[in-house]
Amino acid sequence: MLDLPISTTEINSIRSGRSWPNIRSQYPDIEVREKSSKLPDEIIHAICVELEKGSTAREVAMALGIEYSKKFKTFVSHIRTGRIYRYISQLYNIERKQ
């Protein structure tokens, strides 16, 4: 493996075309990895039901039997604010906390 003065994050950014798109366009055969961790919509609906009740992220985790973590708290926050899964969360009367 080469020891280059560039981070893995920057390499992934170039690979996806977010950074230096002119370089990415010169190598169209480079595979771009897609995120594969998409949760089933049913779980997002269940989270939204709990958020509609006014539950905190910790309470959502307990209600759904999910391990509470900082990452889960951030995930729930992004659903609450509509940053992710907006197409589902907008179906619910969730107080949008910024």
DSSP code per residue over 40-55: PHHHHHHHHHHHHTT-
pLDDT classification of 10: cutoffs 50, 70, 90: confident
Rounded Cα–Cα distance for residues 69 and 58 (Å):
8
Rounded Cα–Cα distance for residues 3 and 36 (Å):
28
Percent of all residues in the chain with a pLDDT value above 90, rounded to a whole number = 52
Cβ atoms of 79 and 64 within 8 Å: the answer is: no
**Residue 7 pLDDT > 90, yes or no?**
no
**Residue 11 pLDDT > 70, yes or no?**
yes
Q: pLDDT of 48-89, one tens digit each?
A: 999 999 999 999 999 999 999 999 999 999 999 999 999 999
Residue with tokens 């107080």: 95
